[in-house]
A = this chain, B = another copy of it.
Amino acid sequence: MALANRSLVTIDDLSNGEIESLFALADDMHGDMDKQLGLCRGKIMASLFFEPSTRTRLSFETAMHKLGGSVISVVDIKATSLAKDESIADMARVVGSYADIIVVRHPWEGAAKVIADYAGVPVINAGDGGHEHPTQTLCDLYTLKKERHTLKGLRIALWGDLKHGRTIHSLTYALARFGAIIHFRSGQGLELPEYVKRKLETEYTGRLERYENLGNLLKEGHFPIDAIYITPSSPHQLANIPDVSIRVELEKGVEALYVTRLQKERLSTKAGVEELKEDYPVVDKKLLKEKEFAETLVLHPLPRVDELARELDADPRSMYFKQAALGVPVRMALIALLLGAKKTPVTKEDDSFIRKIEHPPCKYVYGVKCPNRNCISRHETKYIKPEFILVCRRPLILRCVYCEHEVSPPYIASSEWHEGVLIHKHYHSADSHWAKKIRAENLIIFNSEKEAESHGFKPSHYAKKRYRINKKKDDS
């Protein structure tokens, strides 16, 4: 599969084999770092940063310059026409007619997808809100590969703000796909979002064991942990991992410890920041003296605040500055491949750690909005209608195609009535047995009785009862 003309919006846009090939090219680039390559001469990269950033933007721009290309950039939302109510879809189209490739960072989750949908040129997601940051993941993996010589079956701990950390989300998926054992440990109230956990459990082949259930598996003195994610030791193996192997895995310790800062800017209020800090995991000299971390690499996407002590900077296990430096050859390789300036044979890498569940799209959804206020579908309303895929039937769970947050609307119906099969247009409660009975392609979903009725549906017996209960609540 050629990478030319494709976009990188989520880490899953690249297969394991493609990632390995990209790293092989990055190795070549790394060897040529002190001379300018003419590979992208005459090509234009638009660097659109609608959120503060130094590191990522400069890393991309450096990469493009080293490839001999040119850069045009927008670095602050206030300095752009977007202030004039312009849609980012329009902006994407226009910039796509100037540039050969677009790199975008945006505070709204799903923004990169929308830009990729409209730009007409390859788009690289350099971070969309708290959603994903796939090129950071490529830098992380590349550093691990350089040090451990393989990406497969890594034992790694992810610490810090697992809720808002987009680098965490992208990295988790990638690690899972390469068969890693992941130890999660978050600050209080900063656990992995439900939708990420569900993806791990439904779309990748592993088993996520939450702390509550780990009690008897943890030996005294084991460092704290929220959850552990275990993938089978060989592809295609089923995920029925026995408790005994979880205990074994826990005892092995980790090869790498990936820490992130508290993403203050993603909190809805500033109240409580101090509390969140109190319980926040910290990596320092004392911690790294523990036997189980003797050979553990320390990674951090930077910038750091207090969760990673300066005293570690000279420690040979500290990888974070190297990680940043390796961002340049990785991004050079990525840009060159997406622009088609370089072709590389894709390793026939087995991607089968991923169960590859393709959730069906929800064709008929009425009145349902993505619950994530930060989702692009809540802002870019002129171009974009909410769109969902059906992740689970019972309980009914839809996933937003833009930001991947989940929503569980209360009512459903079948579209088959209009084929003449059903005499009455009835709608049902989403938690009734109908949720499993109606075929996915016929499923109609409503956010309220009103919505259902405005489409000409009448409540079924069960739905009616629920409606009465709701009404009572409203009246009292």
A97-B46 in contact given A55-B81, A84-B305, A302-B90 (Cβ < 8 Å): no
Interface 9-residue window, one of A21-29, A62-70, A202-210 = A62-70
A36 touches B42 (CB 8 A): yes
Cα separation A112 to B319 with both chains bound (whole Å): 25
Please tell me if A30 contacts chain B, counting CB pairs below 8 Å.
no
Cα separation A304 to B382 with both chains bound (whole Å): 12
B72 touches A46 (CB 8 A): no
* Cβ–Cβ < 8 Å partners of A91 in chain B: 54, 303
A90-B304 in contact given A58-B98, A79-B75, A80-B54 (Cβ < 8 Å): yes
Distance to closest chain B CB from A41 (angstroms): 6
Interface string of A53-89 (1 = CB under 8 A from B): 1110011011001100010101110111111111000
A93 touches B321 (CB 8 A): yes
A66-B54 in contact given A79-B76, A261-B84 (Cβ < 8 Å): no
* Cβ–Cβ < 8 Å partners of A321 in chain B: 93-94, 97
Number of this chain's copies in the assembly equals 3
A42 touches B52 (CB 8 A): no
Please tell me if A13 contacts chain B, counting CB pairs below 8 Å.
no
Cα separation A93 to B91 with both chains bound (whole Å): 34
Interface string of A29-48 (1 = CB under 8 A from B): 00000111000011010100
Residue of B nearest to A308 (CB): B90
Please tell me if A439 contacts chain B, counting CB pairs below 8 Å.
no
Residue of B nearest to A68 (CB): B42
Distance to closest chain B CB from A237 (angstroms): 40
Residue of B nearest to A59 (CB): B98
Cα separation A264 to B83 with both chains bound (whole Å): 11
* Cβ–Cβ < 8 Å partners of A44 in chain B: 62, 65-66
Cα separation A380 to B430 with both chains bound (whole Å): 56
Within A344-399, the residues touching B (CB, 8 Å) are: 382-383
Beyond the given pairs A54-B80, A94-B321, A97-B328, 19 more chain A to chain B contacts, judged by CB atoms under 8 angstroms and listed by A's residue number, are A42-B66, A52-B79, A54-B95, A58-B74, A58-B95, A58-B98, A61-B72, A62-B72, A62-B99, A66-B70, A75-B75, A76-B76, A84-B264, A86-B303, A86-B304, A90-B304, A94-B302, A97-B325, A310-B383
Interfacial residues, chain A to chain B (CB-CB below 8 A)? 34-36, 41-42, 44, 46, 49, 52-55, 58-59, 61-62, 65-66, 70, 72, 74-76, 78-86, 90-91, 93-95, 97-99, 261, 264-265, 302-305, 310, 321, 324-325, 328, 382-383
Nearest first, the 8 A-B pairs at minimum CB distance are A36-B42, A86-B303, A97-B325, A65-B70, A62-B98, A54-B80, A94-B324, A61-B72
